[in-house]
Chain A
Amino acid sequence: MSANMIKRMAWVHKWTSLICTIFLLMLCLTGLPLIFHDEIDDALNPSHWVPAHPDGAMLELDRILEIALQHRPDDVPIFMSFDTDRPVVNVTTGARPDVAATAMHFASFDRTSGDLVPPPDNGAAIMDFLLQIHTDLFLGLPGMLFLGAMGLIFLAAILSGILLYAPFMRKLDFGTVRASRSPRLKWLDYHNLLGVMTAAWVLVVGGTGVINTLAIPIIDFWKHTELADLIEPHGAPPSPVALHSLDDAMAKAKAAVSDMVLQFVAFPGASFSTDHHYAIYFHGKTPLTRQMTIPALIDARDGRFAGLRPMPWYVKTLALSQPLHFGDYGGLPLKIIWAVLDLITIIVLGSGLYLWLGKGGQRMDPAMEPLWQGPE
């Protein structure tokens, strides 16, 4: 790399880093507890719950829905999901199907009795707060897109940092930290070492984070392209009280998919459905296909099977981006590694800031000069 190129890269690295550092620090700090949200939820909410009739028959989904709406008479159903380890159905409702996530109401029901299952809400407010600030800074879509832009700038900072690694480190053996020299030189070595060794993880988490910020436009695009034939005007959307039987819709959907696992139902008007259909989502059974959902669409007015809609590549990319960003796909060991790498990233960001702040007007340490001289 020529001296000019190195200078240009250093400029890019400095300014891209400075622009995004404060937001990246916030994302790293809020992301840390989110890595362990399952473990934190379990610890704060030890479950002693048992179903009313452990060996009893399951209530029909239509009955559960009816009970859920009796509890929320002014709401419409938005989503229904199913616990995998206990007979519990979760029903999300809201004043309208398209209300913001924060305005939705979530309740869980014992499928053997229809009784409400106590919510595990100890600590939920804090985790919700952290998730919201991590996702969109409480600004909705503009906040998500803003964080996506910060993520792109961060990726530029990482790539320029990788390119600068060789000019900085070419005279040193791998891993050398000149701790006995000036504090700036010591922290430059830490910054370079920690940065380059965490680069793969940071690129994956940063890149998938950027993709996740596009979730709303991606889903909207999917609805208006792949589901275009279904969202064309079909007359007035069905009234929530005149919905076709959910159990019948579920039976038709299950008959259409083979060897897949039921994941959730999006009701008409919800973000993952159309105004007229139940979208019943299934996923595969292998670790990879578990991320790949496929919706069966059933007309909510007459129960007609409208088709299976395999997800296009961009929705699959979004689906794969979520576990790769949150690190919740490889058990506790991977989560611990995620947390350590997150902490190291905080150190890299902090040391970068320190190197910039400490520079102001001072003459550069001679040991840092080879960078500016370019390759010998």
Chain B
Amino acid sequence: MAGAGMKDRQSRMSRPKRLRKTLKIPAIFFALSLAGLIWALLVDGSSDGLAALAAGSPLMALLWALLYRRQ
């Protein structure tokens, strides 16, 4: 039922809005991961850990999705 409601809401969305919604989260993690990969090249020491965290942030999102988004 909830799935059907979600489909109804999405089909009522305009095309650009739906595209934005579909791509928003992947785009955020794309940018975060890319920034982490480059940041790790610019810093040393403890900041390396933070940069690695940013670079690996999509893994956390993946874990969340695999745990909570399986239907």
* A interface residues (Cβ-Cβ under 8 A, vs B): 165-166, 169-171, 173-181, 193-194, 196-201, 204, 286-288, 291, 320, 323-324, 329-331, 333-334, 337, 340-341, 344, 375-376
For the complex, give the distance between the alpha carbons of A181 and B58 in Å: 25
User: Smallest CB–CB gap between B51 and chain A, Å?
Assistant: 6
- Give the residues in chain B near A376, CB-CB below 8 Å: 11, 15
Task: Mark contacts of B7-48 with chain A using CB atoms, 8 A cut-off: 1 yes-contact digit, 0 otherwise.
Answer: 100110001001100111110011101100100111110001
For the complex, give the distance between the alpha carbons of A376 and B17 in Å: 13
Residue pairs across A and B with CB atoms within 8 Å: the count is 118
- Give the residues in chain B near A287, CB-CB below 8 Å: 40-44
Residue from B26, B44, B49 within 8 A of A199 (CB atoms):
B26
Q: Are A173 and B55 in contact (CB under 8 A)?
A: no
For the complex, give the distance between the alpha carbons of A176 and B68 in Å: 9
The number of residues on chain B lying at the interface, defined by a beta carbon within 8 Å of a beta carbon of chain A, is 41
Q: Are B58 and A174 in contact (CB under 8 A)?
A: no
Residue from B11, B33, B53 within 8 A of A200 (CB atoms):
B33
- Give the residues in chain A near B68, CB-CB below 8 Å: 175
Q: Are B62 and A193 in contact (CB under 8 A)?
A: yes
Q: Are A165 and B6 in contact (CB under 8 A)?
A: no
**23 intermolecular pairs with C-beta atoms under 8 Å apart:** A173-B6, A173-B69, A174-B26, A175-B64, A175-B69, A177-B69, A196-B26, A197-B26, A197-B29, A197-B58, A198-B58, A199-B30, A200-B29, A200-B37, A286-B42, A287-B42, A330-B48, A331-B48, A334-B48, A334-B52, A337-B55, A376-B11, A376-B15
B interface SS class: helix
- Give the residues in chain A near B62, CB-CB below 8 Å: 175, 193-194, 197, 344
* B interface residues (Cβ-Cβ under 8 A, vs A): 6-7, 10-11, 15, 18-19, 22-26, 29-31, 33-34, 37, 40-44, 48-49, 51-53, 55-56, 58-59, 61-62, 64-66, 68-71
For the complex, give the distance between the alpha carbons of A96 and B64 in Å: 57
Residue from A170, A180, A333 within 8 A of B48 (CB atoms):
A333
For the complex, give the distance between the alpha carbons of A176 and B22 in Å: 11
Q: Are A331 and B52 in contact (CB under 8 A)?
A: yes
Known: A193-B62, A200-B37, A324-B37. 14 other contacts (CB 8 A): A170-B10, A171-B11, A175-B66, A176-B69, A177-B66, A178-B71, A198-B58, A200-B33, A204-B34, A286-B42, A288-B42, A333-B52, A344-B59, A375-B15
Task: Name the CB-closest residue of A to B60.
Answer: A197
Task: Name the CB-closest residue of B to A335.
Answer: B52
User: Smallest CB–CB gap between A278 and chain B, Å?
Assistant: 30
